[in-house]
């Protein structure tokens, strides 16, 4: 694209946005531009930032900034101006074109200068629910910012990826990223206002409501003093959080306050509109028990807002369920049918967007393999017979699944029972004879003096007889020191004569010990799995259960249950 065309584009864009208003009604376009020609980049950009909420003034200063950059062939400043102008574009196509042109200019100089434009493009795709492409851009921002050691954009990239995860309901994964970003910003001395609000919201989604309130309180005073831009968001977030905590009175106050702030200033922003819709929905929830009509008016407002925008918030699905039930009860047939159709439409859209996003996140950020997209399922409620058939199919599938689970459980129990019986037989056998040193094996495989091997094996016998393996602190290093040898010799001898690694050797000794102990120790039988694990040196129930199943082929809970049953049967007989 030629410089001349870019200049024409910027001027046309400027005329469309700036000179239609009355504020500049008496001023000729050329005179305004001429008056800014001699100004510095710093002055023009500062004036733009100073008037960022005034569309006409902002675009005027950005256009002058762009014209100066074009005349001086300053690619980086052209990119900055084009990227910032995109925020004021009136339609999707213009916005996309400006961002792409910004990328073209910055990449022609240095890809690291393209970080803001890639971030903006990611947000553009996210706004239109193309999360596949959004993730592509945010990953570029993350990679480039790490390369440039730009901690602010690195944190922003993590936040944006977390936002995508949150949008599709992966709230636990999102919370991990929000925490990481918070720590990053705090360590770098970067403002934590925005990330604190994101953390508060994420904790709320994860039902950790006290933590959500903590992060709200952490920054709310500063927001009131310095960042009114975030005040409505903060109040709505905490209002929803308080609703879930059961404080509906305070929740209502914050939701109404936050909503009024958005209505006055930010309702044209898709970002703020999300919060406004959520606040309206929860005001309906709060009023439902006390004023059904008022609650339904809030839900109808949610539907109206939802219909006029591309925003999809899965949590407000309940709106259509409640409207459907209300219209059905009031015999409002046309509205009842409308609510059903809206519910079907909502479900199909949410399903498609979630499937696409999950695949991209797992493929590009979480897992090494690409998950295939699932087909969307649109429920049809027009034909009652079809509905009955569908329910019947679901019922049959449910029965089949239950039967399959029962068969699986039966077969597994049968296998477990055989393994249990084999364990009991093995435990009744006489102790194994001491291991004898094989000189040829010692010389050819270990390259260790046979006398040393014999000494170590004898000491291992003593170690086993005294149950030294039950100590939680036993390691290959500590045991080698105890046996007066080195870790290399000890590992080789255990591998060769015990046929296993050191860790497997210790774990197997512990399992063999507990198998016998559980047979005779009724007190130990009443311990939890974690309690038993701690008794024999394991750090966790999971590590113990894993070692137990590896050694025996059955779970410890099954073994204990069978031991108890065996005792009862013996007493009965």
Distance of alpha carbon 60 from alpha carbon 10, whole angstroms? 10
What pLDDT, on the 0 to 100 scale, is given for residue 374? 29
Which pLDDT score, from 0 to 100, does residue 284 have? 94
Identity of the highest mean pLDDT range in 47-51, 216-220, 374-378: 216-220
Least confident piece of the model among 193-202, 256-265, 422-431: 422-431
The answer to whether the CB of 77 falls within 8 A of the CB of 65 is yes
**Residue 379's pLDDT band (cuts 50, 70, 90):** very low
Final residue before a domain boundary, out of 311, 326, 345: 311
- Domain stop point among 311, 330, 350: 311
Tell me, yes or no, whether 88 lies in a domain: no
Q: Which residue has the higher pLDDT, 471 or 368?
A: 471
Q: What value, to the nearest 5°, has the Cα angle with vertex 142 and ends 170 and 174? A: 15
> Would you state the pLDDT for residue 15?
43
Residue 452 lies in a domain: yes
High-pLDDT (> 90) share of the chain, %: 17
Region 53-66 average pLDDT: 84
Please give the DSSP secondary-structure letter assigned to residue 366.
Answer: I
User: Tokens 């508060």 sit at which residue?
Assistant: 200
pLDDT band at 287 (very low <50, low <70, confident <90, very high): very high
How far is 452 from 492, CA to CA, in rounded Å? 12
Average pLDDT, the chain: 79
Q: Following DSSP, what letter does each residue of 257-290 receive, concatenated?
A: HHHHHHHHHTTT-HHHHHHHHHHHHHHHHHHTTT
Q: Specify the pTM.
A: 0.52
What's the confidence (pLDDT) of residue 571? Answer: 53
89-98, 372-381, 407-416: least confidently modelled range = 372-381
Confidence of residue 525 (pLDDT cuts 50, 70, 90): confident
Mean of pLDDT values over 62-75:
89
Please give the C-alpha separations between residue 515 and each of 306, 427, 564, in angstroms, as whole numbers: 62, 8, 13
**Tens-place pLDDT, residues 43-55:** 888 888 888 777 8
Average pLDDT over residues 287-307: 91
Place of tokens 């990328």: 103
- The pLDDT assigned to 114 comes to 86
Summarised one tens digit per residue, pLDDT across range 133-180 is 888 898 888 888 888 888 888 888 888 888 888 877 788 888 998 888
Q: What is the 3-state secondary structure (H, E, C) of 156-198?
A: HHHHHHHHHHHHCCCHHHHHHHHHHHHHHHHHHCCCCHHHHHH
Rounded CA-CA distance 112/118 in Å is 10
Burial class (CB in 10 A: 0-12, 13-18, 19+), 127: middle
pLDDT reading at 22 higher than 80: no
Query: Smallest Cα–Cα separation from 30: which of 19, 17, 43?
Result: 19
Structural domain total, the chain:
2
The pair of structure tokens assigned to 379 is 């429920």
- Asked if residue 363 belongs to a domain, the reply is no
CATH number of the domain where residue 464 is located: 1.10.10.60
Q: Tens digits of per-residue pLDDT, 548-570?
A: 998 888 889 888 888 888 766 55
Percentage of residues in the chain having pLDDT higher than 70: 79
Last residue of a domain, one of 258, 276, 311: 311
Residue 119 lies in a domain: no
Residues 412-455: tens digit of each pLDDT: 666 666 776 777 677 666 556 566 676 666 556 677 888 888 89
Tell me what pLDDT residue 1 has. Answer: 45
State the residue range of the domain holding 483. Answer: 439-572
The 3 state secondary structure assigned to 441-487 is: HHHHHHCCCHHHHHHHHHHHHHHHHCCHHHCCCCCHHHHHHHCCCCH
Q: Does pLDDT of 25 surpass 50?
A: no
The pLDDT of residue 3 is above 80? no
Would you say residue 470 lies in a domain?
A: yes
Number of Cβ within a 10 Å radius of residue 31: 9
| Domain assignment of residue 530, yes or no | yes
The Cα–Cα gap between 157 and 45 comes to 24
The answer to whether residue 479 is domain-embedded is: yes
> Taking residues 31-46, what's their average pLDDT?
78
Residue 92 lies in a domain: no
């Amino acid at each position: 694209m030629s410089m001349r065309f870019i200049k024409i584009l910027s001027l046309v864009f400027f005329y469309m946005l700036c000179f239609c208003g009355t504020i500049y009604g008496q001023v000729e376009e050329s005179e305004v531009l001429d008056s800014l020609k001699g100004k510095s980049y710093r002055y023009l950009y500062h004036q733009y930032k100073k008037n960022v909420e005034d569309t006409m003034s902002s675009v005027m200063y950005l256009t002058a900034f762009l014209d100066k950059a074009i005349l001086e062939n300053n690619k980086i400043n052209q990119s900055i101006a084009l990227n910032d102008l995109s925020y004021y574009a009136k339609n999707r196509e213009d916005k996309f074109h400006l961002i792409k042109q910004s990328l073209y200019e910055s990449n022609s100089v240095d890809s690291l200068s393209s970080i803001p434009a890639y971030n903006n493009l990611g947000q553009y795709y996210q706004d239109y629910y193309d999360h596949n492409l959004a993730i592509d851009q945010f990953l570029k921002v993350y990679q480039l910012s790490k390369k440039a050691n730009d901690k602010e954009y690195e944190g922003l990239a993590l936040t944006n990826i977390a936002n995508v995860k949150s949008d599709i309901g992966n709230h636990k994964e999102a919370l991990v990223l929000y925490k990481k970003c918070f720590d990053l910003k705090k360590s770098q001395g970067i403002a934590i206002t925005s990330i604190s609000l994101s953390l508060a919201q994420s904790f709320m989604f994860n039902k950790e409501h006290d933590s959500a309130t903590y992060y709200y309180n952490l920054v709310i005073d500063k927001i009131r003093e310095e960042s009114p831009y975030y005040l409505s968001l903060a109040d709505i977030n905490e209002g929803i959080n308080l609703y879930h905590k059961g404080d509906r009175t305070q929740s209502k106050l914050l939701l109404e306050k936050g909503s009024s702030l958005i209505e006055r200033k930010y309702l044209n922003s898709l970002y703020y509109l999300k919060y406004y819709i959520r606040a309206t929905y929860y005001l309906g929830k709060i009023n439902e028990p006390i004023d059904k009509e008022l609650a339904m008016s809030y839900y109808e407002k949610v539907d109206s807002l939802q219909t006029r925008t591309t925003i999809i918030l899965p949590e407000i699905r309940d709106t259509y369920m409640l409207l459907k039930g209300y219209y059905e009860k009031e015999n409002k047939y046309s509205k009842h049918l409308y609510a059903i159709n809206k519910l079907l439409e909502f479900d199909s859209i949410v399903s498609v967007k979630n499937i696409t996003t999950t695949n991209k996140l797992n493929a590009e950020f979480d897992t090494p393999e690409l998950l295939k997209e699932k087909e969307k399922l649109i429920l049809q409620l027009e034909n009652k017979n079809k509905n009955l058939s569908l329910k019947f199919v679901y019922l049959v599938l449910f029965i089949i699944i239950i039967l399959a689970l029962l068969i699986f459980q039966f077969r597994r129990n049968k296998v477990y029972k055989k393994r249990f019986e084999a364990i009991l037989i093995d435990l009744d056998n006489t102790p194994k004879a001491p291991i004898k040193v094989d000189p040829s094996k010692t010389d050819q495989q270990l390259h260790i003096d046979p006398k040393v091997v014999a000494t170590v094996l004898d000491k291992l016998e003593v170690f086993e007889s005294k149950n030294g393996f039950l100590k939680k602190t036993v390691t290959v290093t500590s045991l080698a020191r105890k046996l007066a040898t080195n870790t290399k010799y000890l590992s080789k001898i255990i591998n060769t004569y015990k046929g296993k690694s050191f860790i497997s050797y210790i774990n197997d000794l512990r399992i063999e010990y507990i198998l016998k102990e559980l047979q005779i120790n009724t007190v130990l039988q009443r311990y939890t799995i974690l309690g038993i694990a701690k008794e024999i040196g394991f750090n966790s129930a999971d590590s113990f259960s894993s070692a137990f199943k590896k050694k025996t082929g059955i779970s410890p809970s099954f073994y204990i249950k069978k031991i108890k049953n065996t005792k009862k049967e013996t007493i009965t007989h």
